[in-house]
A and B are shown apart, each in its own frame.
Chain A
Amino acid sequence: MKKKRVSFSKLYLVIVMLITYLPIAMVVVFSFNDSKLPVAWKGFTWKWYQELFHDAAMIEALKNSLILGFISCAMAAVIGTLGAIGMARVNYKSKGMIEYLSSIPIMVPEIILGMVFMAFFSLLNLPFGMVTLVIAHTAFSIPYVFMMVKARLVGIDKSLEEAARDLGASPSRIFWDITLPLILPAVASGCLLAFAMSFDDVVISIFVNGPRMSTLPIKVYTQMKTGVTPEINALCTIILIVVVLVLLVSSFFRRGKKEYK
């Protein structure tokens, strides 16, 4: 009886995962297909990979996406982390309101965020392009970092800071020696999440990217509306390989470093 239930749960996990990976497998398979249309298998080719490396526009879009992801992620990390640390210690009346407002970007549909940013940036006369993209992406990245760090801060045993004080640490030393190392994993996972969201965002970007700036998702989106080239399959396959490698390497390093609560 018990055995049966266990195998059912495993079967369920496997089936859902198979369905999840099916479309990805399709993309990978058709990136090697010697045909412009993703319909039938016409033989193996590296052609689309070669074309991809010569497609300046595509590489430009990839570069833009990476730059955008890194900058907005870094800004969100600084603003969100400092904010969470400060908020835990100040007693402003406006604290609750600001916390609520800062979480709006993940509480309202993205499209609304996109449109209000578009309207507001044109009101401010900001030049649409990387600047507006960075501001918008930072805005929806902050809550991820903020909430992760806030949750971690709540979880830190207060006596750790007291112990450090007791051993002679000044408040600033306590921050650098104790608090910061303990929240760093939370900052990192907040950043990772934020970067993933930024790297994949279409809806908000499409409103604030301006006429000439294109990110990878926007490029893919326009192609999907007009006609997809298998280059995109190739690009996706490469990203997939990079992601798998990065995740594998990071999990390998984490195994080397002992985990702590």
Chain B
Amino acid sequence: MMEQKKPVVLELKNITKNFGDTEVLRGIDLTVHEGQFVTLLGSSGCGKTTTLRIIAGLEYPNDGEVLLEGKPVKNLAPEKRNVNTVFQNYALFPHMNVYNNIAYGLKLKKVSKSETKERVTKMLSLVQLDGFEKRMPSEMSGGQRQRVAIARALINNPKVLLLDEPLGALDLQLRRQMQYELKKLQKKLGITFIYITHDQEEAINMSDVIVVMRDGKFEQAGSPTEIYDHPKTSYVASFVGSANILRGTVTSIKEDTAILSGSCGTMACKTEQYEIKEGSSYTLAVRSESISVWREAKAEQYITGTITEKSFVGGMLRIVVTLEDRSEVVITRQGINFFYDIGEKVCLEWAAQDAVFVDMEGKQDEK
């Protein structure tokens, strides 16, 4: 963020799209700079694929404008845009071998045979598939097909590469490896990537900019740290950081720390850039790993509840505490040891800087 911003390659201006009566996109604005790795993150049906297809030209927006390197391309056919796509199911041509698949874009541009051969060979070694020229797609594994799809899309030297959940069909281990390789590739080539995923881990690992989408709108756009540490809305907080969302009324403000009282206790939160008023109610997000659990309260602010569930998920112990108002708070711990049992009453605490105010938009102006 501190670095000098490179020129803008792609701009979306107030894009809307309807399929029949359903509004898929309701006014989307996006600015992408050269060489950025931008991820559209959201659950299925949020409109991320449609956004991608509009950029590719496979779909036309009902309203708004798409600017590629400053030129409006809204109504330009996909074959006339310098943008290429890696499709979700790879969409490799089943009747062509790897060489012909990758060379297809060059063949259409009538690039000479010798140059085509050189560029395809280079591309193949870039995606580490040297010697696979003669293979048919049906004879390859998912990971290999994925690489071919990327090579095929990259050979035209696109300004922007669009990737539609390219790792979705791969198993976890392969996915992690491909995340790393894709990021490396993108850095090496310096091409702008616009990447779609519903996996927040993928988004955080790879992106320069994450755009969280929900119901055809952008909830928040920013760097992974921004999104993770300073979620603007409760949706972003819970979707990206799997944070707990709590509500309370501000009773006092000491310097930059607000004290809130909720139905199950009191909570502390840094005010940060917001102007917090005493007596008003606010929503805050606290990430599950920042909450500490005690039998007896150690801090001044704490909420109380009963442990109702313990499970081991993805290398983490996940503890669910049910508060008196029946809402649930999720706490995660490294390792498998946890000294409290199900049914025990506990106090939950966190440091004021570990909580953030969310859903502030419309409540007040930022400072």
Contact = CB atoms under 8 A, between A and B. Distances in A.
Contacts of A260: 94-95, 136-138
Interface in B75-121: 77-80, 83-85, 87-89, 91-95, 104-105, 108-109
A168 B136 contact: no
A162 B87 contact: yes
A164 B152 CA distance: 10
Contact of A159 (B89, B95, B109, B139): B89
Nearest to A173: B108
A96 interface: no
B58 interface: yes
A182 to B, nearest CB: 6
A255 to B, nearest CB: 14
Contact of A166 (B79, B92, B138, B139): B79
Given A162-B58, A163-B85, A260-B138, A168 B156 contact: yes
Contacts of A157: 89, 91
Interface in A217-261: 258-261
B138 A160 contact: no
Given A165-B78, A166-B78, A159 B108 contact: no
B233 to A, nearest CB: 33
A169 B108 CA distance: 6
A23 B46 CA distance: 66
A153 to B, nearest CB: 14
A178 interface: yes
A165 B58 contact: yes
A168 B105 contact: yes
A65 B109 CA distance: 47
Contacts of A170: 79
Contacts of A167: 79, 84, 104-105, 108, 152-153, 156
Interface residues of A, number: 21
Interface in B35-91: 56-58, 77-80, 83-85, 87-89, 91
B91 A261 contact: no
A258 B87 contact: no
A182 B105 contact: no
A108 to B, nearest CB: 37
A257 B84 CA distance: 31
A166 B58 contact: yes
A165 B85 CA distance: 10
B91 A258 contact: no
Contacts of B80: 168
A174 to B, nearest CB: 9
B138 A168 contact: no
A59 B92 CA distance: 49
A259 B138 contact: yes
A203 B137 CA distance: 46
B79 A165 contact: yes
A168 B76 CA distance: 12
A127 interface: no
A181 interface: yes
A173 B107 CA distance: 11
B129 to A, nearest CB: 18
A166 B94 contact: no
Contacts of B139: 258
Interface in A115-152: none
Given A165-B79, A168-B156, A181 B87 contact: no
Contacts of B57: 165-166
A14 to B, nearest CB: 33
Contacts of B137: 260
A55 interface: no
B138 A261 contact: yes
Interface in A148-199: 157, 159-160, 162-170, 173, 177-178, 181-182
Contacts of B105: 167-168
Given A259-B138, A260-B138, A261-B138, A166 B93 contact: no
A182 B95 contact: yes
Nearest to B107: A177
A166 B105 CA distance: 9
A231 B56 CA distance: 67
Among the interface residues B78, B92, B109, B152, which one has the most CB atoms of the partner chain A within 10 A? B78
Contacts of B153: 166-167
A168 B108 contact: yes
Nearest to A174: B79
Given A159-B88, A159-B91, A168-B109, 19 more contacts: A160-B93, A163-B85, A165-B77, A166-B56, A166-B58, A166-B78, A166-B83, A167-B104, A167-B108, A167-B152, A168-B80, A168-B156, A169-B104, A169-B108, A178-B93, A181-B95, A258-B136, A260-B94, A260-B137
30 contacts: A157-B91, A159-B91, A162-B58, A162-B78, A162-B85, A162-B91, A163-B87, A163-B152, A164-B93, A165-B57, A165-B58, A166-B56, A166-B78, A166-B84, A167-B104, A168-B79, A168-B80, A168-B108, A169-B104, A169-B108, A177-B104, A182-B94, A258-B138, A258-B139, A260-B94, A260-B136, A260-B137, A260-B138, A261-B94, A261-B138
Q: Top 5 A-B pairs ranked by shortest CB distance?
A: A163-B91, A159-B91, A167-B105, A260-B94, A168-B79
Interface of B: 56-58, 77-80, 83-85, 87-89, 91-95, 104-105, 108-109, 136-139, 152-153, 156
